[in-house]
């Protein structure tokens, strides 16, 4: 297949490579299914295995768009998640490449398998995040006490009091747990922004959020706050 037509924006990636750029949704030539191997691809892969950045970038340019459009977007159903997963896929490929054993006719099947595994991991994490979000918000409602009043002024007072109670509980927690809960669930910041702010990988962020929600439950119990449901 041809190289990517363009990228929406470039960012610093693996050693400055193109593996951290975001491709357009469709590859050149309207490719569907398995792309054609690069000319002399085995030699390119061997150079990439020895640390040749240009060789790895060439593999990325050749295969990233197909992986994104025909593997990740259909599996995840969300372009932003697909971009995140594409980045994780090629970062994993770069790390694992020295141990890769060549199989004819190309490296594509190996990269595709990595991408599918990353997508499955993200889907599992996404389901867990939704459950955690629901649990956390239900806990927040239990902290808030009685149902909300009817007037706008009373509602504003109640929200302010509720946030004060939540902040008081968060202050008793591990600072990193408190930070991820504030950013991800209270401020509704995206995963990528939270991960960058906390200087962690996306997968690490998901684990951190899971542990933070459990810690929030424990902190509420220590303060005698009755919770509506268990975090599992």
DSSP state string for 119-153? HHHHHHHHHHHHHHHHHHHHHHHHHH-SPPPSSHH
Q: Which residue has the tokens 């902190």?
A: 219
Domain boundaries, the chain: 14-121, 124-222
**Is the predicted pLDDT of residue 176 greater than 60, yes or no?**
yes
The pLDDT of residue 228 is above 60: no
Q: What is the pTM of this model?
A: 0.50
In words, the CATH class of domain 124-222 is: mainly alpha
Name the burial class of residue 194, with classes exposed (0-12), middle (13-18) and buried (19+) by CB atoms within 10 angstroms of its CB: buried
Question: Cis omega (within 30 of 0) on the bond before 108?
Answer: no
Q: How far apart are CA 214 and CA 232, in angstroms?
A: 8
pLDDT band at 156 (very low <50, low <70, confident <90, very high): low
Helices (H), the chain: 41-49, 53-67, 73-76, 79-96, 108-144, 152-171, 175-181, 191-198, 202-222
Between residues 111 and 218, the one the model is more confident about? 111
Q: What's the whole-number average pLDDT of the chain? A: 74
Query: What is the rounded CA–CA span in Å between residue 43 and residue 49?
Result: 10
Q: Indicate if 124-222 has the same CATH topology as 14-121.
A: no
CB burial of 96-132 (b: ≥16 within 10 Å; e: otherwise) equals: ebeeeeeeeebbbebbbebbbebbeebeebeebbeeb
**What's the average model confidence in pLDDT over 109-115?**
95
Mean pLDDT value of segment 152-164: 64
- Distant-in-sequence, close-in-space partners of 90: CB < 8 Å, separation ≥ 6: 14, 19, 20, 60, 64, 111
- Residue 179, judged by CB atoms within 10 A of its CB (0-12, 13-18, 19+), counts as middle
Q: Are 165 and 143 in contact (CB under 8 A)?
A: yes
- Best mean pLDDT range from 56-60, 138-142, 179-183, 192-196: 56-60
Q: What is the pLDDT of residues 56-85, one digit of tens each?
A: 999 999 999 999 988 988 888 778 888 888
CA triple 18-123-45, angle to 5 deg: 30
pLDDT of residue 190: 83
What's the CATH number for 14-121? 1.10.1740.10
List the beta bridge partners of residue 23.
Answer: 7
**171 is written with which tokens?**
């202050």
Give the tokens for residue 11. 């960012």
pLDDT in tens, 124-134: 766 655 555 55
Residues 22 and 20: their CA atoms lie apart, in Å, by: 7
Backbone angles phi, psi at 23, to 5 degrees: -80, 160
């Amino acid at each position: 297949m041809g190289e990517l037509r363009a990228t929406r924006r470039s960012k610093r990636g693996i050693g400055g490579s193109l593996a951290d750029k975001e491709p357009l949704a469709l590859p050149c030539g309207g490719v569907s299914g398995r792309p054609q191997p690069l000319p002399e691809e085995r030699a390119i892969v061997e150079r990439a295995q020895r640390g040749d950045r240009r060789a790895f970038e060439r593999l990325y340019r050749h295969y990233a768009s197909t992986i994104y459009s025909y593997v990740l977007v259909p599996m995840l159903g969300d372009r932003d998640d697909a971009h995140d997963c594409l980045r994780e896929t090629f970062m994993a490929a770069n790390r694992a490449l020295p141990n890769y054993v060549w199989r004819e006719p190309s490296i594509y099947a190996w990269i595709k398998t990595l991408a599918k595994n990353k997508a499955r991991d993200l889907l599992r994490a996404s389901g867990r995040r939704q459950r955690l979000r629901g649990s956390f918000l239900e806990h927040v409602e239990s902290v808030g006490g009685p149902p909300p009043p009817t007037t706008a002024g009373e509602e504003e007072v109640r929200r302010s009091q509720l946030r004060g109670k939540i902040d008081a509980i968060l202050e008793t927690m591990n600072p990193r747990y408190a930070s991820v809960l504030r950013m991800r669930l209270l401020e509704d910041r995206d995963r990528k922004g939270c991960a960058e702010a906390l200087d962690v990988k996306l997968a690490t962020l998901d684990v951190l959020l899971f542990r933070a929600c459990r810690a929030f439950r424990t902190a509420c119990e220590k303060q005698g706050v009755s919770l509506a449901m268990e975090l599992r």
